[in-house]
Structure 1
Amino acid sequence: MFGDIMGMMGKIKETQEKVEATKKRLDTVLIDEKSSDGLLEVTLTANRKIKSITVSDDLLQDKEMLEDYLVTILNKAIEKATNVNDAELGAVAKEGMPNIPGMDMFK
């Protein structure tokens, strides 16, 4: 029994290391989102860190429109990044979790 616990603890530590490595890798995965008319484009990492925002000069003339575009496009990009992040980290966590009866929360 003690060996099983030690093996389980080792597996959990290995999974934690894989999760951390995946988080680091997700800093290099870029998500691009742009408005349908191409006036605004944002790029962020799968860890939801903004890398760039490109704004057309046309949008700079209308503050309210620019604000609306930013909210809409940033929310879309954050949603995409969150989906990628959740899928990647969920896969690593599920793969590395020991099989504990009654603890099938990752299935």
Structure 2
Amino acid sequence: MFGDMMGMMNKIKETQAKVEEAKKQLDHVSLEEKSNDDLLKVNITANREIKSIEISDQLLEDKEQLEDYLILTLNKAIKRATETQEAELGAIAKEGMPNMPF
């Protein structure tokens, strides 16, 4: 029984190390999200760090429209980055602890 506990603890430590390494790697996973009409583009990492925003000159003419575009597109980008991160980290956790419910 003690051996099983030690083995499980070692497996948890290994999985934690893999998760930390994956988090670092997700800094380099770049995702692009854009508005339906391509007037606004957002580049974000899988760790939800915004790297760039491209705004069409057309949007600069209407402050309210630009604000709406920013909110919608940034929220889509953040959601996509979160889903990507959760999928990657979830796969590592499931691999490291296959008998645990996730």
Q: Is the TM value for this pair above 0.5?
A: yes
1:53 alignment counterpart: 53
5 Å matches for 1:1-107? 1-97=1-97, 99=99, 104-106=100-102
TM-score between both structures, scaled by the size of structure 2? 0.94
- Looking at structure 2, the residues matched to 90 and 38 of structure 1 have their Cα atoms a distance apart, in angstroms, of 32
- Give % identity: 68
In structure 2, the gaps of 5 or more residues are none
- Looking at structure 2, the residues matched to 87 and 67 of structure 1 have their Cα atoms a distance apart, in angstroms, of 30
Runs of 4+ residues deviating >6 angstroms: none
- Looking at structure 2, the residues matched to 72 and 98 of structure 1 have their Cα atoms a distance apart, in angstroms, of 37
Q: Give CA deviations for 1:25-47 in whole Å, capped at 9, x if unaligned.
A: 11111110111222110010011
Asked whether the 8 Å contact 1:35–1:73 carries over to 2, the reply is yes
Specify whether residues 24 and 73 from structure 1 end up closer, same or farther in structure 2 by C-alpha distance, changes over 3 A only: same
How many residue pairs end up in the alignment?
A: 102
Instruction: Give the SS at the match of 1:32.
Output: strand
Asked whether the 8 Å contact 1:12–1:98 carries over to 2, the reply is no
